[in-house]
Structure 1
Amino acid sequence: MVTVTPRRTLAGQLLILQLAIILVVLVAVAAVSLAQSAATFNRVEGRRVAALGEQLAGNALLRDRLNRPAPGEAIAPLVQNTLTQSGVTSVTVADARGRVVSSTDPTLVGGPLVLGDPRVTRGRSWFGELELGSSRELVAQVPVLGAREENLGRHLGVVVIGEASPSWWQRLVGASSYLFTYLGIASALGVLGSWLLARRIKRQTLGLEPREIAGLAEHREALLHGIAEGVIALDPQHRITLVNAVGRRLLDLPEHCLGHSLAELRINGRLRDVLAGAGGGVAPDQVVVRGGRVLVMNRTPVTKDGRRLGSVTTLRDRTELARLEQELGSFRSTTELLRAQTHEFANQLHTISGLIQIGEHDEVVRYVDTLSRHRASLDLTVTSRIHDTAVAALLMAKSAAAAERRVELRVSERTGLDRLPPEVAADVGTVLGNLVDNAVEAVAGDAATGPAWVEVELRQDTASVEIVVRDSGPGVAPELATEVFTHGFTTKAAEGGERGIGLALTRLVCHRRAGEVAVTNTDEGAMFTARMSTFPTAPQGAR
């Protein structure tokens, strides 16, 4: 049977780690206390044994006996008396030759004296730790100098006063009477703090263990980089906390953008408003033009327990879809043209049939002739000034659709357009179709004030094509003249509630062809002017 050892929880691991740290700190404190105790002992006891040594070395009896032969027996009582009165560990006296003549440790008598500093024999005192016999002691070695006239200043011997060094346990106990109390309180507080911290971390991690947190992080990365949409998350200060590769590509963000604010990344205008939730940025399906792309963005604020944590915004690239919508719009325009012509032809046939039934044959001839001249005039006006078949067909379709809404579509006498390359003609058709649709929509709702008309003017030079669309509508508010394209504003509501693809795509096409589109107001209404280059452009997304 295989026994599986349970893994320690994150809180348990943190508790053990912090207890180990506390133990190390306590050991360090104890070591410091021992070092301080040793330093204090050496300083205080060193001074005391040095003073005792100087006192004994200055004793007249000791000086007199050391100057005579066999002084040991005579000074033994003096040595023992010094030991008894001072409470030191040992007292030793050596003669001028360095031989111990008297000591409280009988094993040292007759042997050589170990000097801590050779200068002691030259009249200089010294104190420090030495091995005396079987123990290590803090000793003071004081020279005995002659005081009589015949031996004044002559070295007579050495007095050694020793105090046994305490053990580490004695030093620890003697370091402070409250040391163990302090260490105990610190240990208890450390254990309690570690336990509380472990509980707090467990709550903040929702009870997840490190391997589970790592698994969630891996799954999140896989999820973020596995979806086709862009995702970007901001904190309350509008700093980027998360972004996947698709989002970074769609927004043209640098690789190391995490932690930077929108202002630092120079994200301004409409895009900043949507990401930050300003100016209606919380509405769904916000259209933004960024880096040659039409983006649809959805921002979701993130809150927890009433606290605002930031926001998450998803991005979809609608550029290709917008183009498909424009192509579909062209087919829809053709369908509308056929439907309008069918309706118109049906009315005309009914009129002709009625005239025949009442016998007005001459009137039938005049009616048919009038219809033929009107159709020929319209075809001749368009085809004589616009030699590109695709653009001419588009204008014919738009003219019929406008007529259905009682709007007259005019072609300016200043119009002149030669045949264009297919890719240029497609872009011209996209821009022209969008501008005409917006103009017709604007004037159709304002037809009660007078005749509704839209005038198209196309001009071409060696390097560019200029499209001018004028209308008899109410015009564009001056404060929207710049924002109208940035916001993707349009005068009509698209199906499904989406707005702004038409004019946003118009500006996108113009920018891609190194051009621009603008709107101004005239005395009669609005005038949209678009200019684009006829030279080949780089593929979409090329850098």
Structure 2
Amino acid sequence: MRKVRLQTKILGLVLSLSLFLIFMLTAYFTYMEGKQIEEDRGRLALELSKTIASMPTIIDAFKSEDPPSVIQPIVEKIRRETGAEFIVVGNAQGIRYSHPLVSEIGKPMIGGDNERAIQKGESYVSEARGSLGLSMRGKSPIVNQNGDIIGIVSVGFLVEKVQKQIFKDLSKEVVVSLIALVISVVGSYLLARSIRKDTLGLEPYEIARLYKEKNAVLHSVKEGILAVDRDGVIRSMNQPAKKLLNIKESVRDLKVDDLFPSVYLYEVLDSGKPQIDKEMQWGHKKIIMNCTPILDGNRVSGAVVSFRDKTEIEQMVNTLSEVKMYSEDLRAQTHEFTNKLYVLSGLLQLGKHDEAIDMLQSETAELQSLNRIVFEQIKDTKVQAILLGKLGKASEKKVTFEIDSESYLETLPSHIKLSELILILGNIIDNAFDAVSDREKPLVNFFATDIGEDIIFEVSDNGRGIKSEHLTLIFERGFTSKDEEIPSGYGLSNTDYAVKELGGLIEVHSEEGNTIFTVYLPKRQGEEKND
């Protein structure tokens, strides 16, 4: 079904309403004015008849031998001056003594409405058809000095002329009504144009559709989105924004200042320039905020703010980075074993069977020892995978990586994910490899146990150690003691964050030739270690 345009609706509604109101008001005022004109004519006729009936000259004329000769000139003069259609004076028998048509004088009065005046002495208004046509008549009795009714005065206005006066006044009202109709049409057109301009040319059904789409988009995106007006009053907020800012109740029509630090938002509202990727601290979370102004022409009418949890972004990036590192470790392990296979193949081709057997026995003994620890004592496959990767990397870096024979670890609780283990163990072990890279006999030792309420990982190395002034800084983001062009200083910071997310803690002991990192992770989710 075709949608009706807003402009058409407004014009149709206003025009219909205006026509209805104009018709009703015109009919009402015409009816009231007609009645008023009739009442005025009837009242005038009655008052004239009373006045003439009480005139001494008229009363005395009834005693004369020729009453019409006295009465006719007087009443005709009054008739012409008052605009009455006729003034008829008759005797008690209804014989005319005056009439606008002289030929009618002496004839009986017509209409049959004289009884109340002649017989009862009443003055009244009546409507009857006489010699001149249908008329409104004011009738009054003529009473002599003795109180006897000697005649009657009838003053009349033709109904036809009264109606003509009504229609004449009606035509004026119609003109006024048409002017009012034209004004209402023009006004409704201008109103429709103004509304259409305010709605950017959109029809109501289009606005409703856009509103539904906006709500669907607003609540489907993962990012938090907040919209405010020019004064910083919240107009809309999606569920991810409420969750990110830890808001549960409705915030519509509240000032944004009460919810979070809004300095960047007001800068946008004041300057009209967007603020991109601004970082702010909210509780224990770091939030990335983008703020874009809503422009109405050149005027800023509001702003839209989007939020992202920087912690989640960093965690995802770090996880991808550590997974890449993990794959590199496995590649290193594969590369190392490939090299050993090439050496073994070369020995066999040269006929050095004894050396080949010694190499195999040495590798087998070492692998058996490692396999016994890795696969029999450390039963969590995630930790096994990480250790195997680091063994390959250690071999490639010519670092002795030992796994303490006293290590024992059952399958880790489900809340400790592989990505978190990669962040924690991968960074600490890699840092240990880097710390011993310049040592003559580089050695890194790994120990793990789950005895008690905590899971404990310990990584030690025989590097130069950490300077005492650096011990309090090593977990700060961006801090590094390395002189590198590539930005670094994020590994231990990410490790510290991952440990704290699991409710654990890290201890560091360092001196020349011995640095130990110890990680404590609660077995039960929700428990938190305090240092």
Q: Under a length normalisation based on structure 1, what TM-score does the superposition of the two structures give? A: 0.51
Matched, 1:17 2:13: yes
Q: Percent identity?
A: 21
* 1:229–1:316 CA contact under 8 A, matched in 2: yes
Contact 2:124 2:139 in 1 (8 A): yes
Asked if 1:59 corresponds to 2:55, the answer is yes
SS at match of 1:88: coil
- Do structure 1's residue 131 and structure 2's residue 142 form an aligned pair? no
State how far apart, in whole Å, the 2-side matches of 1:193 and 1:10 are.
Answer: 15
Q: Once the two structures are superposed, what CA deviation does each residue of 1:272-292 show, in whole Å capped at 9, x if it has no partner?
A: 3354447999241534536x8
Structure 1 residues 161-310: aligned runs within 5 Å: 161-164=155-158, 170-171=165-166, 173-174=168-169, 186-251=180-245, 257-262=251-256, 266-267=258-259, 269-270=260-261, 272-277=262-267, 282-284=275-277, 286-289=279-282, 295-310=287-302
The answer to whether structure 1 residue 338 and structure 2 residue 429 are counterparts is yes
Question: What is the identity, as a one-letter code, of the residue corresponding to 1:55?
Answer: T
Equivalent position amino acid for 1:335 in 2: G
User: Could you tell me how far 1:49 is from its partner in structure 2?
Assistant: 2.7
Q: Deviations over 1:129-180 (max 9, x none)?
A: x53349886554545444x2x33xx666664433345566743534797x66
Shift of 1:211: 3.5
The 1:28–1:401 alpha-carbon spacing in structure 2 relative to 1, beyond 3 Å, is farther
Partner of 1:34 in structure 2?
30
Q: CA separation of 1:77/1:34 partners in 2, compared to 1, >3 Å: closer, same or farther?
A: same
Cα 1:221–1:283 change in 2 (3 A) is: closer
5+ residue gaps, structure 2, are 320-416, 483-487, 504-523
For residue 18 of structure 1, report the CA deviation from its aligned partner: 3.3
CA distance in 2, matches of 1:255, 1:136: 81
Residue in 1 aligned with 2:112?
111
CA deviation after TM superposition for structure 1 residue 310, in Å: 1.2
CA separation of 1:131 and 1:345: change in aligned 2, threshold 3 A? same
Is the alpha carbon distance of 1:274 and 1:218 closer, same or farther for their aligned partners in structure 2, counting shifts above 3 Å?
Answer: same
Alignment of 1:485-500 (within 5 A): none
Aligned twin of 1:526: none
Amino acid at match of 2:19: L
Q: Describe how 1:318-329 pairs up with structure 2 within 5 A.
A: 328=419
Please give the TM-score of this superposition, normalised by the length of structure 2.
0.52
CA contact (8 A) 2:420 2:498 kept: no
Is the contact made by 2:140 and 2:152 (CA closer than 8 Å) also made in structure 1? yes
Q: Partners in 1 of 2:196 and 2:298 — Cα distance?
A: 22
SS of the residue corresponding to residue 256 of structure 2 reads coil
Question: How far is the alpha carbon of 1:439 from its aligned partner?
Answer: 5.4
Change (3 A) 1:439 1:61: closer
Shift of 1:213: 3.3
Alpha-carbon contact 2:287-2:307 (below 8 Å) kept:
yes
Shift of the alpha carbon at 1:299? 1.8
Q: Assess, with a 3 A threshold, how the Cα gap between structure 1 residues 237 and 65 changes in structure 2: closer, same or farther.
A: same
The 1:305/1:273 distance shift into structure 2, 3 A limit, reads same
1:315 aligns to what?
A: 307
Alignment of 1:406 with 2:399, yes or no, is no
**Deviation readout 1:369-421 (Å, 9 max, x if unpaired):** xx99xx9xxx9xxx9xx98644x64xx55x979976534687xxxxxxxxxxx
Question: CA 1:83/1:303 → structure 2, altered by over 3 Å: closer, same or farther?
Answer: closer
Task: Give SS of 2:301's match.
Answer: strand
Q: Do the aligned partners of 2:129 and 2:135 also contact (CA within 8 Å) in 1?
A: no
Measured in 2, the distance between the counterparts of 1:502 and 1:67 equals 136
Counterpart CA distance in 2 for 1:401 and 1:10 is: 81
Structure 2 residue matching 1:284: 3-state secondary structure: strand
Structure-2 change in CA distance of 1:224 and 1:100 (3 Å) = farther
Native 8 Å contact 1:234 1:310 kept in 2: yes
Q: Is the 8 A contact 1:33 1:172 kept in 2?
A: no
The C-alpha deviation readout for 1:54-79, integer Å capped at 9, x for no partner, is 221113465468899xx999989987
In the alignment, the residues of structure 1 paired with residue 264 and residue 59 of structure 2 have an alpha-carbon distance, to the nearest angstrom, of 103
Within a 5 Å distance, the mapping from 1:515-530 to structure 2 comes to none
Q: Which amino acid aligns with 1:17?
A: L
**Matched residues in 2 for 1:22 and 1:50: separation?**
41
Question: What is the SS of the residue equivalent to 2:84?
Answer: coil
Tell me how far apart the structure 1 counterparts of residues 428 and 497 of structure 2 sit (CA, whole Å): 23
Q: Contact 1:300/1:311 (CA < 8 Å) preserved in 2?
A: yes
C-alpha distance in 1 between matches for 2:151 and 2:495 = 112
Residue type at the aligned position of 1:261: K
Cα distance in structure 2, aligned partners of 1:505 and 1:72: 132
Contact 1:286 1:298 in 2 (8 A): no
**1-structure distance, mates of 2:157, 2:494:** 98
Q: CA deviation at 1:207?
A: 3.9
Q: Aligned pair in 2 of structure 1 residues 314, 187: CA closer, same or farther (>3 Å)?
A: same
Is the contact between residue 236 and residue 308 of structure 1 (CA under 8 Å) also seen in structure 2? Answer: yes
Deviation at 1:313, TM superposition (A): 1.6
| Equivalence for 1:465 | none
1:87 is the counterpart of 2:96: no
Mapped contact 1:333–1:401 kept (Cα < 8 A): no
Cα distance in 2 for residues equivalent to 1:13 and 1:80? 62
Q: Secondary structure at the match of 1:49?
A: helix
Matched pairs, number: 387
Change (3 A) 1:311 1:29: same
Cα distance change of structure 1 residues 51 and 337 upon mapping to structure 2, 3 Å threshold: closer
In structure 2, C-alpha distance between the alignment counterparts of 1:82 and 1:161, rounded to whole Å? 10
In the aligned structure 2, how far is the partner of 1:444 from the partner of 1:347? 15
